[in-house]
Amino acid sequence: MRMTVRRLGGWAVRITVISTAVLIIQPPNRLTAQDSQFGIRGLGTPGKWESVRARATGGAFAPFDALSPLLDASLADVRRMTAGVTGSTSWRSVSAGSTNASLRASRYPALVIAGPLSRRIVVGGGFATYLDRTFGIVTHDTINLRGVPQPITDEIRSDGAISDLRLALAARVQDRLAVGVGIHRITGSTRVVATRRFDDSTTYRNSTSRDEVAYGGNGGSASALLDLTSDVRVAGWVRSDGKLRADVRGRTVAEDDLPLGFGGGVRWRLGEQAAFAGALAWRKWAGAGPYSHDTFDWSLGAELGSPVSPLRVGVRRGQLAFGVGKTPTEFGVAVGLGKQFSGGRGRLDFGLERLQRKGDGLTERVWTFLLGLTVRP
Amino acid sequence: MKRLALLLLLCACTDRVLAPGVCPGFCPGGTIGIKDTILTDVIQRDSAFRGYVQAWQAEAMPIADVPGVVDSRAIFLMGAIPPRVVAKSGDTTTVPIAVDSARLRVVVVRRDPSSVNLRLKLYRLPITIDSTSTFAQLASAFSAPVVDSVNVSALLARPPISDTATLRIWGDTIRTDSAGHTLQISRSDSSLIVYFGLDTTRARFVVADSGKVAYGVRVAADVRASAALGATDVFDRGPLIRWFYHYTVTATPDSVAHTSIQRGANFDSFVFDPPTPPLDNNLAVGGVPSARSLLRVAMPAFMHDSIDVVRATVVLVPVAPVQGAPGDSFSVIARPVLTDIGAKSPLSTTSTLFGRTTIHIGAADTVRIELSDLVRAWALDTSATTTFMLGQVPEAASYTEIRFYSSRTPAFRPALHVTYVKRFPFGSP
């Protein structure tokens, strides 16, 4: 058994190192998170800045989890070089009136690497999904061309995302207080294809136009963690992002405001075997173009059992930033497991999340399987 | 380890992101816009040229008799045969041949199925016929008594003969009449193979001419007297004559040898009246010698970089309905030129870029030729020569010609009707 664990740990380290290298070299547009039909009309689907551990608790532990890219101050808890990567596969069913579709996507939504510079200062960084812009839609219609009705099929595909590239610094200024700041480069691109097909392919040729849209923006964040008691910790964060610029072939085609966000959380440890947390977040998305809404999210979660192999549960409720009409809502429950190996040098986290998103005329139900790998070489 | 591999595989599943669009609420802000417009001034510097293919180079010989419209007649000169033969192998002396009969074959490659009592009439012509022979020059020969006449419609109505002896000799079923005519239907293209059985009075073997004979064919019918005979330019479709003869074997005076020899046409063509009128300001296509029209297209800049052409049609207005036998038709093809050097511009052989349409006799409708692939190719390649040539297919195989108004007639000038998709507004929410 020990041999197996050791072997597994060795492979895990190798996989993590290779994955980290690949993810750093690879353009961040493939580091996409969960997509949603609600984001098609807007800038995209905002990502969840959470590790698998935090996601399995509904996001409630994200402010206190160093490997969740939400708070910079939480990096202060990293005592040695640590890297974590999150992967997910989601199965999504979309219902809009009589229209139903089943979709599937696999993503690597977050990567965090952090390590101490000194006893009190930790530097970290990585990628997280800021806005997912992967989608594909098909519509059928009949248009009148040269006096004759022509059935057509339009297909618009977008593949890519806008990622949040973060460089953060966290410092434990007092034994009970940690603060962090981060600078964010919001960057990414999407490959977009619009195709029109004619049923009468003898007379009309299909039309396909392709382009690549490059996105860019900047942001900054600040946060703090305060231990009120040895068991109770509170967190607060604020983040401000500038404008998101969209360029096609070197020409700026759109510029939209990105939100100011702030939030907080509280965690209560009940001995070594149980911890509970709750988190809140507000984001002012309403200035980010048409059909955008300010959002408020809350979550509650628990981590139970031994730190070596804890059980996690959580619930979340929130709003979606984009959607026609009333602000769409999201409700989710999650459960997960963690398993340390190689004497704490590595950890595998599993999570299963069920989300339901509702808006005017559309309902989405999502199952997401999450896999996280954390390595402390 | 297996479990880890399974999990990694699970996470690496193929994405399926395509869903039915619920628009406009859950679709991208932009739409695929389409526009349809007629560009009336992009076809410029158009010209017509004549002389590409002559009647004697054509793939077929049209025959028609439409009073007041056209009278077209096929003419052909059969090859010579030796008037003497070597009677015995290895001997140097020759003996004269004595012709017994001949069988002339013509192939009807096109006919109007609705013709009633379609008849082919055979005339003897002087063996001096050549490419300079005209309708008027041969009028007297065609006024002479007919050599033979076959009622094709009546032959077709007869039951086919399919006994084993016939099949062995002819290779297929035949239809015959009491006058010695035979008709076979080609298995490959349903053309009609007609044989005239000719005795020595109708197929005169003149030693001085080495057996060369020339014939002309007219067509007659109660309704729609129009057809076309195959020419030697197409394999096994030209006229053939088989001479049946005998000669005396000198070594054995009592013995007579019977044999035959076949010859094809040395020359075939057709003459018709009225002749094709000379070129004018308009764009002529077809006729004999064949005419082609060169049309140059000034592609607007927006067609190169901001749109995607999904359909392009050349719109041509005929000057007048095409004259000819009712029920006939012919094809006009638009081919891109590789280099624009005027009348002798080399034509592209990329058939996917060709446009084609069928012209019906008597129709005065506007002619439209689809050139979507060609215009799309021009839109992608700014260095391409944006010129195309209109020609008849096959060329010079018909007396028919169509004329379109050129750019010199502003009200009816050629135009390009394009339907295009505008660039999708990527990047906007």
Q: Summarize pLDDT for B64-93 with one digit per residue, the tens.
A: 999 999 999 999 999 999 999 987 777 788
CATH label of the domain that carries residue B411: 2.60.120
Is there a domain that residue B3 lies in? no
Domain extent at residue B381: 34-53+289-422
CATH entry 3.30.365.10 includes domain A2-375:
no
**End position of a domain, from candidates B206, B239, B273:** B273
> Residues of B with CB below 8 A from A150's CB?
none
For chain B, say whether A141 makes contact (Cβ under 8 Å). Answer: no
Is there a domain that residue B6 lies in? no
The pLDDT value recorded for residue B304 is 86
My answer on whether B66 and B193 are in the same domain is yes
pLDDT tens per residue across span B316-366: 999 999 999 888 899 999 999 999 999 999 999 999 999 999 999 998 899
pLDDT tens per residue across span B11-46: 455 677 788 877 888 888 888 899 999 999 999 999
**End position of a domain, from candidates B248, B273, B298:** B273
> Residues of B with CB below 8 A from A324's CB?
24-26
pLDDT tens per residue across span A328-348: 999 999 999 999 998 889 999
For chain A, say whether B5 makes contact (Cβ under 8 Å). Answer: no
Residue of B nearest to A214 (CA): B427
Question: Of B13, B27, B34, which has the smallest distance from its Cβ to A139's Cβ?
Answer: B27
User: How high is the ipTM of this complex?
Assistant: 0.80
With CA atoms as reference, report the closest residue to A204 among B3, B211, B376.
Answer: B376
CB B389 within 8 A of CB B293: yes
Is there a domain that residue B415 lies in? yes
Is there a domain that residue B13 lies in? no
Residue A10 has pLDDT above 70, yes or no: no
My answer on whether B120 and B157 are in the same domain is yes
With CA atoms as reference, report the closest residue to A105 among B12, B4, B6.
Answer: B12
My answer on whether B380 and B232 are in the same domain is no
Is there a domain that residue B279 lies in? no
Alpha-carbon distance of A292 to A327, in angstroms, equals 8
My answer on whether B43 and B89 are in the same domain is no
My answer on whether B234 and B320 are in the same domain is no
Per the CB < 8 Å rule, is B25 touching A371?
A: no
Residue A13 has pLDDT above 60, yes or no: no
Is there a domain that residue B376 lies in? yes
My answer on whether B89 and B121 are in the same domain is yes
Q: Strands B415-422 and B367-370: what pairing?
A: unpaired
Per the CB < 8 Å rule, is A154 touching B29?
A: no
A:304-363 residues touching chain B, CB 8 A cutoff: 323-325, 348, 360-362
My answer on whether B72 and B189 are in the same domain is yes
With CA atoms as reference, report the closest residue to B189 among B126, B250, B235, B258.
Answer: B235
How is chain A split into domains, by residue range? 2-375
Q: Count structural domains, chain B.
A: 2
Per the CB < 8 Å rule, is B26 touching A104?
A: no
What the block records as the tokens of A370 is 């999450």
SS (H, E, C) chain B: CHHHHHHHHHHCCCCECEEECCCCCCCCCCCCCEEEEEECCCEEEEEEEECCCCHHHCCEEEEEEECCCEEEEEEEEECCCCCEEECCCCCCCEEECEEEEEEEEEEEEEECCCCECCEEEEEEECCCCCCCCCCCCCHHHHHCCCCEEEEHHHHHHCCCECCHHHHHHHCCCEEECCCCCEEEECCCCCCEEEEEEEECCCCCCCHHHCCCCEEEEEEECCECCEEEEECCCCCCCCCEEEEEEEEECCCCCCCEEEEEEEEEEEEEEEEEECCCCCCCCCEEEECCCCEEEEEEECCCCHHHHCEEEEEEEEEECECCCCCCCCCCEEEEEEEEECCCCHHHCCECCCHHHCEEEEEECCCCCCEEEECHHHHHHHHHCCCCCCEEEEEEECCCCCCCEEEECCCCCHHHCCEEEEEEEECCCCCCC
**pLDDT grade for A63, boundaries at 50, 70 and 90:** very high
My answer on whether B170 and B258 are in the same domain is yes
